[in-house]
Amino acid sequence: MSNRKQSFQPVLVRRVLRLVRPYWFFVAASLVCAAVSVAAQLLVPILCGDAIDAMIGLHRVDFAIVARVALAIAVSTAITAAAQWVLAACNNRIAFRVSQDLRRKAMEKLQHLPLSYLDAHPSGDLVSRMIADVDTFSDGLLLGFTQFFSGVLTIAGTLILMAVLHLGVTAVVVLLTPLSLFAAGFITRRTYRYFRDQTAIRGQQTALVEEQIQGQRVVQAFGHEAESLRAFDDVNDRLRDASIKAVFFSSLTNPVTRFVNSVVYAAVGLTGALLAMGGGITVGQLSVFLSYANQYAKPFNEISGVVTELQNAMACIQRVFDLLDEPDQAPDAPDAAELQPDGRVSLSHVAFSYTPERPLIENFNLDVAPGQRIAIVGPTGCGKTTLINLLLRFYDVDAGSIAAAGRDIRTVTRASLRRSYGMVLQDTWLRTGTIRENIAYGKPSASDEEIVAAARAAHAHSFIRRLPQGYDTVIAEDGGNLSQGQKQLLCIARVMLCLPPMLILDEATSSIDTRTEVKIQKAFATMMEGRTSFIVAHRLSTIREADVILVMRDGKIVEQGNHQSLLQKGGFYATLYNSQFDTAG
């Protein structure tokens, strides 16, 4: 696995460069500022050497030269400071813009991924990729632009200037440099795998924490705290082990390169001193060489740290790219038309399974006339909700076809198909915002009068009016400050506002008290008048008025008819219905 990932490093680098390409102006400005800053810094040792040579000997200090050198050093320092300020501004702009682009692409990708991908991947792991991994990559990118280019320019400039001053001393530096490069390369090649493992486990930990927070009431209600802690400790221990290994191996880079660079500095000092004693170079030039040896060594230490961070950043960006590379949901056909619903729905020889080895729906046939109310009942896992997913084309059938208004739904746009249905699910979903915004989610242009009318029809108006700011009350994430029943009433009001030609009610009143349910059922009856409706229900008392009741078992329709005819038949439906009113147990 590690070798495969390593072999893709050039591809990864090219993709990162493509991310940076739109900001070429800031990259160019950054490089220019880095060059100016390095040049100004490298000029200072030469100036200091000139000042030292101007002060050698008793009563032989040339104050004019020293003053000019001092002024030149001050100017060089000012230029360095200004260039580094602009350099930091450009690099921050690049890093934060690239992070913004990545998150926008990841969010766009989520809107186009098939539901099967989202069902199969923990939401916490996806959040970790979009937030933590992008942040880590941004930090690595910022370090790369800030220190990497400056370091390379410093090394190159130092070697050139040392060669101009004396080739012999420069040769000593060049001969010892590969030791530092070899040591840094040997270590950093081994850190990528550990950083990749660390990033993956961190995503698992984020997913676990999010799952536990969302289900904390259930965890505490069932006394599952100890097991939850054990699960967290397990992933936390694995993250600790991976992190320790990553940090341990990466932390070896700096001291090893520092040691090698100290050897280089000592070799330059010894060689330079011998040359100075022999008159080959001046004392000022010796100080220049020592300064350059120090400046030459410093970038290696910085670059070794940058390479470590870049390894971590590359491991993180790989996870983001893995998300971006996932295949999109199959697009609408090029000639897909807008659906003009008339209430007719037909399923012909439909077969579907989430996994090939476990068939779910097989040879399913159904014809629904306009305005019919179709109730779907059956034991858990028989395929009721799956059928709803197929009607809305969240999943495509494996065989057979589903038609709406006489057209195969694969030949119409998904947007027009889904606009034709109003859906209320057992699992409510509300976003952070006002009550008004949540009701108008499917119809943002709705007037206040329409929103209030929809809330009244859903019997939500009375509780909304009692809230602190009424319809302008801001609710927490997923309606956390409302009861489950109140959240469901708002979801019903959302559909009441849009009133599309077809309805899907999947346990739409499961969290509502019996008294309110009676009122809601009356509202539903009015809403369903003239509209094709699919009603999934476990409480069979709620679907007695349905025109057709489909009884499903193991992905097949085993019985079909209205309430009375199915009871008289005394089959599976009668058994299900009577079991709900059996007081023997």
pLDDT of residue 585: 40
Closest Cα to residue 22, out of 118, 126, 98, 112? Answer: 98
Alpha helices in 8-148 (DSSP H): 9-20, 24-53, 63-112, 115-120, 123-128, 134-143
Cβ 313 vs Cβ 74: under 8 Å: no
Measured CA to CA in angstroms, residue 130 lies from 75, 101, 387, 430 at distances of: 45, 11, 32, 22
Can you tell me the distance from the alpha carbon of 481 to that of 487, in angstroms, rounded to the nearest whole number?
A: 9
The pTM of the full predicted model, rounded to 2 decimals, is 0.69
Residue 366 tokens read as 């159904």
Can you tell me the distance from the alpha carbon of 538 to that of 515, in angstroms, rounded to the nearest whole number?
A: 18
Cβ 368 vs Cβ 345: under 8 Å: yes
* Burial (CB count <10 Å: 0-12, 13-18, 19+), residue 267: middle
pLDDT of residue 540: 67
Sequence-distant (6+) residues with CB within 8 A of 56 are 282, 283, 284
Closest Cα to residue 496, out of 430, 391, 421, 422? Answer: 422
Cβ 400 vs Cβ 348: under 8 Å: yes
Q: Are strands 474-475 and 421-424 parallel, antiparallel or unpaired?
A: unpaired
pLDDT of residue 58: 58
Strand partners, 413: none
Summarised one tens digit per residue, pLDDT across range 121-178 is 888 788 888 888 898 888 888 877 777 778 888 888 888 887 887 777 778 777 777 7
User: CB atoms < 10 A from the CB of 112, how many?
Assistant: 11
Can you tell me the distance from the alpha carbon of 202 to that of 552, in angstroms, rounded to the nearest whole number?
A: 42
User: What is the 8-class DSSP label of residue 346?
Assistant: E
Q: At residue 217, what is the residue type? A: R
Each residue of 59-97: b (16+ CB within 10 Å) or e? eeeeeeeeeebeebbeebeebbeebbebbeebbeebbeb
The angle at the Cα of 320, spanning 314 to 326, to the nearest 5 degrees, equals 130
Alpha-carbon torsion, ordered 70, 73, 77, 83, to 10 deg: 140
Residue 536 tokens read as 């999934």
pLDDT of residue 47: 77
Cβ 146 vs Cβ 88: under 8 Å: yes
User: What is the 8-class DSSP label of residue 169?
Assistant: H
Summarised one tens digit per residue, pLDDT across range 74-100 is 888 899 899 889 988 888 888 889 989
Place of tokens 């991924």: 113
Sequence-distant (6+) residues with CB within 8 A of 307 are 184, 188, 253
> Is 572 strand, coil or helix?
helix
The alpha carbon dihedral of 341, 345, 347, 353 has a sign of positive
Measured CA to CA in angstroms, residue 482 lies from 437, 444, 456, 464, 477 at distances of: 15, 22, 18, 10, 10
Place of tokens 């390593």: 6
Q: Put the strands of the sheet holding 361-368 in their side by side order.
A: 361-368, 345-352, 399-404, 407-408
Summarised one tens digit per residue, pLDDT across range 552-567 is 887 777 888 888 888 8
Q: At residue 442, what is the residue type? A: G
Residue 269 tokens read as 């000092």
Can you tell me the distance from the alpha carbon of 289 to that of 293, in angstroms, rounded to the nearest whole number?
A: 6
**Tens of each residue's pLDDT in the chain, 585 residues:** 344 444 346 788 888 888 888 988 988 898 898 889 888 888 877 777 777 776 775 567 677 777 887 888 888 889 989 988 998 888 888 888 998 999 999 888 888 888 888 888 888 788 888 888 898 888 888 877 777 778 888 888 888 887 887 777 778 777 777 776 676 666 666 676 777 788 888 888 888 887 787 777 667 766 778 888 888 888 888 888 888 888 787 777 667 777 777 777 777 778 777 777 777 777 777 777 777 777 776 776 667 667 777 777 888 888 899 889 988 888 888 888 888 888 899 989 888 888 877 878 888 888 888 988 888 888 777 777 888 888 988 888 899 999 998 899 999 998 889 888 888 877 778 888 889 988 998 888 889 999 999 998 888 888 899 988 889 988 877 666 788 778 888 888 888 888 888 988 887 776 677 777 777 777 777 778 888 988 887 666 667 778 888 888 877 778 888 888 888 888 888 888 787 655 444
Alpha-carbon torsion, ordered 494, 496, 501, 503, to 10 deg: 70
Residue 421 tokens read as 């249905």
Can you tell me the distance from the alpha carbon of 413 to that of 208, in angstroms, rounded to the nearest whole number?
A: 37
Can you tell me the distance from the alpha carbon of 194 to that of 248, in angstroms, rounded to the nearest whole number?
A: 10
Query: What angle do helix axes 24-53 and 283-324 make, rounded to 10 degrees?
Result: 160
Cβ 11 vs Cβ 254: under 8 Å: no
